[in-house]
Chain A
Amino acid sequence: MNFDFSDDQKMLRDQARKFLSEKCTTKTVRKVFEGSHGYDKDLWKQIAEMGWHGTAIPEEFGGLGLGYLELCVIAEELGRALAPVPFSSTVYLFAEAILAAGTDEQKKKYLPRIASGELIGTFARSEGPGAVTPKSTRTSFKGGKLSGRKIAVVDGMDADFAIVLARSSDEAGERGTALAIVDLKGAGVKRRAEDSIDPSRKHAEITFDGASAEALGKPGEGWSITSNVLNRAAIMTAFEQVGGSDSCLAMAKDYAMQRYAFGRLIGSYQAIKHKLADMYVNTELARSNAYYGAWALSTNARELPLAAAAARVSATQAFDYASKENTQTHGGIGFTWEVDCHLYYKRSRELGLSLGAQRTWKDKLVTELELSNAA
């Protein structure tokens, strides 16, 4: 039994934590949260120089070729620090989609630029309220031209390229879906910044009007590639969520250890203790599920879809609980703009929605359980 990260991976995690605790305080987060810039350019540049972007990108495409366990420990630290950089859009989604379905030529074209930090990518799926399904996908990709409208595209204002889930034929269900890679600075692309609950991760509406685009994967494979990429991204995001939960628990604990009420530290009241104990329990369960996801990701295990859904649901629940109860533990001061509680509260919900809502993932999870029982 060796269900833990190696000493080297733990060392990488410690280095990442130390670096981010210095270079990415909540002051850094607030500069983006309260400002108009989509991300922190200095931080983005520095983590690119350390090679984080290319952690799981093979060396032949300019990456470090380390692996997914290494990427997961970095993700945990980015989540802990609420790092305001387009890392998840670029690395967990865009790069993963290229690695999963790109031609050799596409890999050569995009991956080295991702690894070096030059290219920001994103993945556009939703077109309106409700679940993203093959049926809800109306954006058309035919004859190399993309037309339609995508909403809530994370890092959409800053991305250079987007992968877009679209419809390539009138065939029903997933057979009619395809993916397109589009240059967001090209003709026929319009972008509008959208207001979001978490302005430390900016969102955009992107409208395509006959924009030139190249296919990623074959027509008819759009949905299956998307599902596969979302599964992988869900595991890495789960590590961000676990990191975020840890931060909330630490913050709540610190406050409970210094705030007095009725002549006692509030941390000595069972109402507070039990809340914090529950945060701890949920976070440890989520961490263990995320570990299993990391194992599945690093070995390309058959269990990956189930592991991903479990990691996703568990981590979303843990971060939601930890962030709202952190605010509650702080009382009134926790509801002020100046205190950081709301940064986590907003990030937890944003992360919980950006790859699809919990309900969607729970349904996937049970579908996977049905499949594994049938096997």
Chain B
Amino acid sequence: MDFEDTKEEAAFRAEANKWLSAHAKLRGSKSSRDDMEEMENGAAAEMAASKAWQKTKANAGYARITWPKGMGGMGGTPMQSIIFSQEESKYDVASGGPFAIGLGMCIPTVMAYANDDTKKRFVWPAVQGDEIWCQLFSEPAGGSDVAGLRTRAEKQGDEWVINGQKIWTTGAQFSDFGILLTRTDPNVPKHKGLTMFWIDMHDPAVEVRPIKQASGGSGFNEVFFTDLRVKDSQRLGEVGQGWQVALTTLMHERLAVGGGQGGGLDVKELMALARTLELEDGPALKNAAVREKLADWYVRSAGLKYTTYRTMTALSQGKQPGPEASIAKIVVASKLQDVSAFAMELEGEAGALKGADAPGNGAFQMGWMSAPGLRIAGGTDEILRNIIAERVLGLPQDVRVDKDIPFNKAPGGR
């Protein structure tokens, strides 16, 4: 048992560092920024920098390390991909956030289901950051239950005419293309009447409206389709096979190794705060109730960190990681909410302030306001628990009353 690289891993790390130091500057003391916050702001200058850095990486094969050569990759291992990310995080480079969904989910789906011409057309521009993709699955009537979606696609000659609405679409405002899950047959049970397409987000029949979130930011969008016409050749997979295609997309959801989704607010930051504050009975850090909370959250953070090490060990040994990799988001999101709320408790009446008026520039207030979203986005806490129960522990699926009846006859369907 050790935390060392294998000889090959160490060589790869050195090589990656050599390349990185030739193309970027070390970050120094600046901390890495939170993805979610960045997506919320998504400034134009930031985007240009992201695209430039992505292109540099793609030309060297570092953009998608595990993909084949000539497609932005180098035919590398998942472990090499992790090592590169670890080293990259030490450098002051633009975020790869805008490309995460396209390269992590959309393009793998295109690669699995599109014809060679389509692949040739889309893969390379996406890998080098010239074209950004979004994933259009969730709808107002279908969030956790994605297959309950209502956006209709109707065949007219060699075209499909699409009407409906998507929601919670990350990055739709700066996306060039999207993969869109539609209902093509409401007369069959809900999972059987779906079909997937790729679409041009710049089509005038597509309207993107940002959603103002409860946290104040706007990283997500509503997307409306009014008589959007797409060619049958834009179909991914067979008619009625959309659910299977969507599962491929979701399966490619990248392994969130390294966590990071807590916005950098954890025990360390809470201790730093407790060190500066006085409570009724003296320094906050000496208060028994504060210490007990710190310990509770520390064991969850440390447990997650070492769980990640176990996952990385499996990857390093060329094995499939175990199911323990699935616990991260459940732990991180609710911990962020609890840690932030407790920090505000310690701040007392000043805890109600935000931004520059709040202690520490309102970092904990920001965490507290974004935490509800984190507990919902990408699978709610409840859905993630269902997934662990059903896929890891093997418990039976919940009874699904709409499973075997036509979608337009099911409660809430139409």
Contact = CB atoms under 8 A, between A and B. Distances in A.
A285 B398 contact: no
B320 to A, nearest CB: 14
Interface string B291-304: 11011101110111
A274 B385 contact: yes
Nearest to A264: B399
B39 interface: no
Interface in B2-61: 2-6, 9
Interface residues of B, number: 53
A-side binding surface: helix, strand, loop or mixed? Answer: helix
Interface stretch (A25-33, A51-59, A151-159, A287-295): A287-295
Nearest to B303: A285
A295 B314 CA distance: 17
A1 interface: yes
B156 to A, nearest CB: 42
Contacts of A310: 298-299, 302-303
Contact of A1 (B3, B291, B304, B389): B3
A247 to B, nearest CB: 14
Contacts of A363: 288, 291-292, 295
Contact of A280 (B5, B393, B396): B393
Interface in B362-414: 382, 384-386, 388-390, 392-399
B122 interface: no
A88 interface: no
B315 to A, nearest CB: 8
B309 interface: yes
A133 interface: no
Q: Which residue of A265, A298, A310 has the most chain B CB atoms within 10 A of its CB atom?
A: A310
A359 B303 contact: no
B396 A267 contact: yes
Contacts of A286: 303
A197 B299 CA distance: 27
Interface in A307-332: 309-310, 313-314, 317
A20 to B, nearest CB: 23
B1 A2 contact: yes
Nearest to B388: A277
Contacts of A233: none
B303 A274 contact: no
A372 to B, nearest CB: 10
Q: Which residue of A3, A69, A373 has the most chain B CB atoms within 10 A of its CB atom?
A: A3
Interface string A78-93: 0000000000000000
A89 B204 CA distance: 75
B303 A288 contact: yes
Given A291-B310, A366-B295, A2 B2 contact: yes
A370 B1 contact: no
B1 A294 contact: yes
A4 B330 CA distance: 24
Contact of A366 (B268, B291, B386): B291
Contacts of A369: 267, 271, 294, 298
A135 B264 CA distance: 41
A69 B5 CA distance: 20
Given A3-B3, A3-B313, A289-B299, A268 B397 contact: yes
A288 B3 CA distance: 14
A4 B313 contact: yes
B250 interface: no
A249 to B, nearest CB: 8
B292 A362 contact: yes
Contact of B312 (A1, A265, A268, A281): A1
Interface residues of A, number: 50
Contact of B303 (A1, A269, A314, A361): A314
Contacts of A5: 1
Contact of B396 (A265, A281, A284, A295): A265
Interface string A132-151: 00000000000000000000
A257 B397 CA distance: 11
A155 B330 CA distance: 40
A206 interface: no
A228 B389 CA distance: 39
Contact of A362 (B4, B295, B304, B388): B295
Interface string B229-255: 000000000000000000000000000
B136 interface: no
Given A1-B312, A284-B307, A362-B296, A295 B393 contact: no
A328 B268 CA distance: 36
Contacts of A298: 1
Q: Which residue of A2, A276, A363, A370 has the most chain B CB atoms within 10 A of its CB atom?
A: A2
Contacts of B385: 270, 273-274, 277-278
A253 interface: yes
A69 B393 CA distance: 27
B327 A270 contact: no
A286 B3 CA distance: 19
Contacts of B398: 268-270, 273
A144 to B, nearest CB: 40
A362 B300 CA distance: 13
A235 interface: no
A365 interface: yes
B163 to A, nearest CB: 34
Nearest to B325: A284
A285 to B, nearest CB: 3
A69 B388 contact: no
A256 interface: yes
A295 B1 contact: yes
Interface string A355-375: 000010111011001100100
B99 to A, nearest CB: 26
B324 interface: yes
Contact of A314 (B2, B299, B312): B299
B53 to A, nearest CB: 26
Interface string B301-334: 0111111011011101100000010010011000
12 contacts: A1-B5, A2-B4, A249-B393, A267-B396, A273-B395, A280-B393, A285-B303, A291-B309, A314-B303, A362-B291, A362-B295, A365-B298
Among all A-B residue pairs, the 7 with the closest Cβ atoms:
A285-B303, A362-B295, A273-B389, A288-B306, A277-B385, A3-B309, A314-B299
Given A2-B4, A373-B271, 20 more contacts: A2-B3, A2-B316, A2-B317, A3-B310, A276-B389, A277-B330, A280-B327, A280-B392, A281-B388, A288-B304, A288-B305, A289-B303, A291-B310, A362-B295, A363-B288, A363-B292, A365-B295, A365-B298, A366-B298, A369-B271
Interface of B: 1-6, 9, 79, 267-268, 271, 285, 288, 291-292, 294-296, 298-300, 302-307, 309-310, 312-314, 316-317, 324, 327, 330-331, 382, 384-386, 388-390, 392-399
